[in-house]
Amino acid sequence: MAFGEFELIARYFTRLGAQRPDVVLGVGDDGAVVVPPAGMELVAVLDTLVAGVHFPPDCPAASVGHRAFAVNLSDLAAMGAEPAWALMALTLPSVDAGWLSEFARGAAALALEHGVALVGGDTTAGPLTITVQLLGFVPSGMALRRAHARPGDAILVSGTPGDAAAGLAIAQRQLSPADHVMSDYLRRRFEYPTPRCALGNALRGVASAAIDVSDGLGGDLSKLLDASACGGELEVETLPVSEQLVRAVGRARAVDLALTGGDDYELCFTVPPARFAQLAALSEAGAAPVTRIGTVVEGHGLRLRRGSTVTQFSHRGFEHFV
Ligand code: ADP
Ligand code: MG
Which ligand 1 atom minimizes the distance to the CA of 6? 6
**Which among 9, 13, 87 is the best mutation to test ligand 1's pocket, defined by most ligand atoms within 8 Å of the CB?**
9
Residues whose beta carbon lies within 6 Å of some atom of ligand 1: 9, 13, 27-30, 88, 90, 118, 120-123
Query: Which amino acid belongs to residue 300?
Result: H
Ligand (nearest to CA of 30)? 1
pLDDT of residue 317: 58
Residue 1 reports pLDDT greater than 60: no
pTM, full prediction? 0.96
- Tens-place pLDDT, residues 171-208: 999 999 888 999 999 999 999 999 999 999 999 999 99
- Tens-place pLDDT, residues 14-45: 999 999 999 999 999 999 999 999 999 999 99
- Tens-place pLDDT, residues 111-138: 999 999 999 999 999 999 999 999 999 9
Ligand (nearest to CA of 122)? 1
What would the DSSP string read from start to end of 44-99?
EEEEEEEBTTTB-TTS-HHHHHHHHHHHHHHHHHHTTPEEEEEEEEEEESS--HHH
Alpha-carbon distance 198 to 83, whole Å? 11
**What are the counts of helices (DSSP H) followed by strands (DSSP E) for the chain?**
10, 13
Tell me the backbone φ, ψ of residue 176, rounded to 5 degrees: -140, 85
- Tens-place pLDDT, residues 235-285: 999 999 999 999 999 999 999 999 999 999 999 999 999 999 999 888 777
pLDDT of residue 59: 96
Distance 27 CA to ligand 1 centre (A): 6
Q: Take atom 10 of ligand 1 and give the residue whose Cα is closest.
A: 28
- Tens-place pLDDT, residues 39-80: 999 999 999 999 999 999 999 999 999 999 999 999 999 999
